[in-house]
């Protein structure tokens, strides 16, 4: 890994003349960003669910700041529904080519170049990179906008025309607002990060999902046993213990997760009589499922953030791999609780049952 970083750094320095030749005039001499009036804007938000949900929070501020601009989004296919109600569907571009997590994805520089070639004819004036790694920085530069700003970009952050430093030790949901601050600093209206976060907009009604699962008129709780990687996961048997206590109190159980978590979800559902599964569904439908739930039990995962923002009683288990000070779910007061992995299943169930 250190060799790769060194190699990228060397190539970056050598490539500087070529980058200047490729970029549009004035790209590396950006104006005061608070004064620009772009007509076509792209947000590059290619993280997984939680980080992409946080990125969606800046869309209304940008739309108000640039009322005449057409705002596009480049995002992962899994997260496209998170922009529902914010960005017109024909301006949401799915980009599986942009890697967010090398532990789960393989990168392809040529694939990113092809994606850029496909999107470049849109003629972006401003590109805002809310992903912040070498792959997203590369894509942003290849889009050949008039200006580009981002907060990191790894070893390729120098390819932005304006690079931001994000303060450390702040909740990660603040990061997208820190990135766009230079665009908003001279505005008469005060744009700022604020809580509670705007909840996602489901792509169907909760009743539609409940009808599909045979849950109409009953209380149900959602269990989400998966996470980004196994070390973030609470043991499935402890999820099952929570589920059994909830069932003893008359609550129905729905187990949900991504298509890749089907075996894990089926394992959990198999330990809970009459539990139903809702696996591999679009995130807009999962949001509808969460919207009707009495409570939601998750690991540190994207669905924890959606459930908390929707003011569902949310219990998130942190195993010590990630820092809850930086990435705990944020909801209205009392709607979300963080527990460590040593918590007893009964305590978790009592919290969810209220």
Please check the confidence at residue 333 and state whether its pLDDT lies above 90: no
Q: In three state form, how does the secondary structure of 138-205 look?
A: HHHHHCCCCEEEECCCHHHHHHCCEECCCCCCCCHHHHHHHHHHHHHCCCCCCCCCCCCCCCCCCCCC
DSSP 28: T
pTM: 0.93
Give me the pLDDT at residue 9, please: 61
- Quote the mean pLDDT of the chain: 93
Please give the C-alpha separations between residue 126 and each of 34, 44, 100, 150, 174, in angstroms, as whole numbers.
Answer: 12, 11, 22, 11, 21
For 227-286, strand residue ranges (E) read 252-257, 276-279
Query: Is residue 197 a part of any domain in this protein?
Result: no
Measure the CA–CA gap between 4 and 17, rounded to whole angstroms.
22
Measure the CA–CA gap between 27 and 231, rounded to whole angstroms.
42
Kindly state whether residues 131 and 212 are assigned to the same domain: no
Q: What percent of the chain has pLDDT over 90?
A: 80
At 330, the pLDDT band (50, 70, 90 cuts) reads: very high
Kindly state whether residues 148 and 72 are assigned to the same domain: yes
Kindly state whether residues 159 and 98 are assigned to the same domain: yes
Kindly state whether residues 154 and 241 are assigned to the same domain: no
Kindly state whether residues 172 and 241 are assigned to the same domain: no
Average pLDDT over residues 80-85: 98
Kindly state whether residues 15 and 134 are assigned to the same domain: yes
Kindly state whether residues 178 and 218 are assigned to the same domain: no
Classify strands 70-75 and 162-163 as parallel, antiparallel or unpaired: unpaired
Kindly state whether residues 273 and 327 are assigned to the same domain: yes
Asked if 335 and 313 touch (Cβ cutoff 8 Å), the reply is yes
Domain total in the chain: 2
Kindly state whether residues 179 and 229 are assigned to the same domain: no
Kindly state whether residues 69 and 172 are assigned to the same domain: yes
Residue 6's domain spans which residues?
2-184
- Among 351, 283, 287, which Cα is nearest to 317's? 351
Please check the confidence at residue 129 and state whether its pLDDT lies above 80: yes
- Taken in order 299, 83, 199, 222, the sign of the CA dihedral is negative
Query: Is residue 111 a part of any domain in this protein?
Result: yes
Average pLDDT over residues 61-75: 96
> At which of 151, 184, 217 does a domain end?
184
Kindly state whether residues 217 and 162 are assigned to the same domain: no
Q: pLDDT by residue (tens digit) across 282-293?
A: 999 999 999 999
CATH number at residue 129: 3.40.50.2000
Q: pLDDT by residue (tens digit) across 146-205?
A: 999 999 988 899 999 999 888 888 999 999 999 999 998 776 566 678 888 999 999 999
Q: pLDDT by residue (tens digit) across 220-242?
A: 999 999 998 899 999 999 999 99
Query: Is residue 338 a part of any domain in this protein?
Result: yes
Query: Is residue 199 a part of any domain in this protein?
Result: no
């Amino acid at each position: 890994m250190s060799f790769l970083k060194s190699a990228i750094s060397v190539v970056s320095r050598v490539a500087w003349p070529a980058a200047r030749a490729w970029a549009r005039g004035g790209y590396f001499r950006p104006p005061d960003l608070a004064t620009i009036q772009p007509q076509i804007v792209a947000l590059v938000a290619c993280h997984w669910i939680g980080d992409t949900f946080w990125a969606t929070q800046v869309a209304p501020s940008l739309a108000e700041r640039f009322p005449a601009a057409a705002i596009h989004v480049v995002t992962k296919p899994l997260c496209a529904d998170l922009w529902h109600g914010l960005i017109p569907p024909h301006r949401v571009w799915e980009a599986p080519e942009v890697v967010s997590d090398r532990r789960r994805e393989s990168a392809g520089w040529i694939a990113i170049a092809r994606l850029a070639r496909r999107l470049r004819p849109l003629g972006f004036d401003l590109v805002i990179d809310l992903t912040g790694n070498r792959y997203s920085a590369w894509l942003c530069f290849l889009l050949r906008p008039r200006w580009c700003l981002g907060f990191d970009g790894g070893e390729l952050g120098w390819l932005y025309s304006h690079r931001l430093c994000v303060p450390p030790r702040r909740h990660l949901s603040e990061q997208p607002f820190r990135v766009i601050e230079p665009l908003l600093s001279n505005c008469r209206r005060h744009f700022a990060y604020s809580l509670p976060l705007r909840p996602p907009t489901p792509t169907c009604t909760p009743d539609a999902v409940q009808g599909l699962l045979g849950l109409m008129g009953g209380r149900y709780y959602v269990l989400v046993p998966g996470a980004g990687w196994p070390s973030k996961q609470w043991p499935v048997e402890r999820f099952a213990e929570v589920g059994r206590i909830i069932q003893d109190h008359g609550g129905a159980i729905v187990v949900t997760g991504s298509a890749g978590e089907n075996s894990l979800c089926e394992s959990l559902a198999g330990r809970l009589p009459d539990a139903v599964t809702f696996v591999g569904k679009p995130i807009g439908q999962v949001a509808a499922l969460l919207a009707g739930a009495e409570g939601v039990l998750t690991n540190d995962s994207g669905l924890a953030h959606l459930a908390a923002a929707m003011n569902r009683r949310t219990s998130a288990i942190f195993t010590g791999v990630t820092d809850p000070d930086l990435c705990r779910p944020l909801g209205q007061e009392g709607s979300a609780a963080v527990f460590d992995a040593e918590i007893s299943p009964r305590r978790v169930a009592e919290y969810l049952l209220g």
